[in-house]
Structure 1
Amino acid sequence: MDLQLSGRVAVVTGASKGIGLAVTRTLLAEGARVVASSRRTSPELDALAGPDLVHVAADLMAPDAPGEIVARAAEAFGGLDILVNNAGGPPPGVTLPRGSFLDAGDEEWRAMFEFNLFSAVRAVRAAIPLMLERGGGAIVNVSSGNARQPSPMNVDYSAAKAGLTNLTKVLSAEFGPRGIRVNTVSPGPVRTAWWTDEGGVADMFAAQAGTSRDAVMDELAPGMMNLTTGRLAGPQEVADVIALLASPRSANTTGADFAVDSGFLKEI
């Protein structure tokens, strides 16, 4: 399927690995021009280098950073059509998972909201005027299944993502009539560095359960989370949905929340 993205300009945050890297690779393959943002680059992102890719090293905890990333798209490629707010998870200095609401104080809550909600708010604020100049655009906010599945684990992260999902609905209603579609993709557990890296979540669970990292990801975690498919999702599976929502092929889809979560959410 031709996603009709050739020549369109996109910004992707958290682009050096995981879902963001897969989104960047997919958009480039579809002919888009991409400004990819991350704190630092990676060998995998460097391998995509070419005239249609600009990397912006930025720390989204800095209030000015989202606007500067969006401005770089206008400077490099003349405008903006697509914004993918993918960056998220534990901000610098914060370790997840938590076990209880009582495990996080005010500073941890502030940091979590800065990274997972406020950075997206700032990026959207900068992107909307550029999109309106071009007659519209598409914004995809990467939320989480935990936005709709309350849990005492990672409660501050879940609350920030719930705010992002709510924000998406509001933006869709206000700017949809002006040609800007805004949707949410909510992954469940995905085989990203947060799980797979040495010292990551899989290793933490493996130490507690007396098993291996692979056994956690292949058997223990899918069972604990009651995943319908029996496995964690791959980053590309999430990226494919994001690319479709960014595409004119989804021209009448807005204000929607797409779960790419292995069947994690079972409520209506």
Structure 2
Amino acid sequence: MTGPMGIDLAGKNAVVTGASRGIGLAVVRELVSCGARVLGGARTPSPALSEATPHTLAVDLATLDGPARLVEHAIGTFGGIDILINNVSGSESQDGGFLDVSEESWHREFEATFFSAVRATRAGLSSLVERRGSVVMVGSVHSRLPLPGVVAYSAAKSALASVTKALSEEFAPRGVRVNSVSPGLVRTAVWTGPDSEGAKLARQYGVSQEELLAGLPAQAGVTTGVFSEPEEIARLVVLVASGVLPNLTGAEIVLDGGMIKTL
């Protein structure tokens, strides 16, 4: 089966973390459209995820054994894995600055955003080496644009970018490509939901949520003035994971509408 971008992943097996909604769900759909068998892991698999793939697992990826359980389930179900997409993150926002971030928040953020990826990758590497597979970390522009309200999230994403480079240096000679895709503002439930960050900011500024979202990208420095869509990020993630670009490894690819201005 060939997907919308002409990518054929028939016979490939993939694992996606944080797959119930947003970018993770979009990645699952894109992989399936390209012919891959996909196991989507989430704390609470959504009906949309179950519609996208018959292979789901309810698992808390912020726990010590959760990521390994997910990967081992995939290997047991499929016989091996070719693609690992580490997408899950905590993304806890704070009303204040550094001193307002509790010890518990730091731990939750790193467990979900950083250690989940470390543990899933560790669990999958034997199979990925055997099948000359690919790992994609879903990062964030906040690894380069840390702000007080997302200081723990930014730090965890920066750590993830560092691990991406180190893993590529060690495992690319053994056939495993490791890259990261770093989105900017993406139109997900983080911004559009009724109890989301977008709703909170709209109340704070006394405007409707629709008005806030219409102007937010430009205010945040997005040159195009619009949000990225989850499907756009998913297409890039799948392209990077697919092997269409076989010498792409150790790279961080930013898709942010021009939000990062520095070289």
Map of 1:7 onto structure 2:
11
Q: TM-score, normalised by structure 2?
A: 0.96
The aligned counterpart of 1:104 is: 101
Q: Tell me which of 248, 260, 265 is aligned to 2:255.
A: 260
The aligned runs of 1:5-84 (5 Å cut-off) are 5-49=9-53, 53-84=54-85
Aligned counterpart in structure 1 of residue 168 of structure 2, from 167, 172, 175: 172
> Is contact 2:31–2:38 with CA below 8 Å preserved after alignment?
yes
The SS at the match of 1:252 is coil
Instruction: Tell me, in whole angstroms, the C-alpha distance in 1 between the residues paired with 2:113 and 2:242.
Output: 24
Asked whether the equivalents of residues 23 and 243 of structure 1 are also in contact (C-alpha less than 8 Å), the reply is: yes
Identify the match of residue 138 of structure 1 among 109, 134, 138: 134
Q: Please tell me whether the aligned partners of residues 146 and 154 of structure 2 are also in contact (alpha carbons under 8 angstroms).
A: yes
Q: Deviations over 1:163-188 (max 9, x none)?
A: 00010000000000000000001111
Q: Deviations over 1:131-171 (max 9, x none)?
A: 1222x110000111000112222101100000000100000
2:242 maps to 247
Q: Provide the secondary structure at the position in 2 that maps to 1:34.
A: strand
Instruction: Kindly indicate whether the alpha-carbon contact (under 8 Å) linking 2:164 and 2:250 is maintained by their aligned counterparts in 1.
Output: yes
Give 2:80's aligned amino acid: G
Q: How many pairs align?
A: 259
Distance 2:201 2:6 in 1: 41
For 1:45, the aligned partner's letter is L
Secondary structure of the residue that 2:52 maps to in structure 1? coil
Matched with 2:225 is 230
What is the one-letter code of the residue matched to 1:112? E
Do 2:223 and 2:258's aligned partners in 1 also have CA atoms closer than 8 Å? yes
Deviations 1:16-65 (A, max 9, x none): 1000000000000100000100111212112224xxx4101000121101
Q: CA deviation at 1:109?
A: 0.6
SS of corresponding position for 2:40: strand
CA contact (8 A) 1:19 1:235 kept: yes
Which residue does 1:210 correspond to in 2?
Answer: 206
Percent identity reads 45
TM-score (norm: length of structure 1): 0.94
Give the CA RMSD over aligned residues: 1.1
Superposition deviation, residue 125 in structure 1? 0.3
Q: What amino acid does structure 1 have at the position aligned with 2:139?
A: S
Structure 1 residues 55, 254: closer, same or farther in 2, change over 3 A? same
CA contact 1:79–1:130 (8 Å) conserved in 2:
yes
Q: Distance in 2 between matches of 1:107 and 1:41?
A: 25
Residues 61 and 119, structure 1, Cα contact 8 Å, conserved in 2:
yes
Give the distance between the partners of 2:182 and 2:65, measured in 1 at CA: 26
SS of structure 2 residue aligned to 1:83: strand
CA distance in 2, matches of 1:55, 1:37: 6
SS of the equivalent of 2:136 reads: strand
How far the C-alpha of 1:202 sits from its partner, in A, is 0.9
**5+ long unaligned stretches in structure 1:** none
Are the counterparts in 1 of residues 94 and 100 from structure 2 also a CA contact under 8 Å? Answer: no
The residue type equivalent to 1:124 in the other structure is T
Provide the residue aligned with 1:87 in structure 2.
88
Q: Counterparts of 1:171 and 1:47 in 2: how far apart (Å)?
A: 33
Partner deviation per Cα, 1:217-247 (whole Å, 9 max, x = no partner): 111x112211111011100010000000111
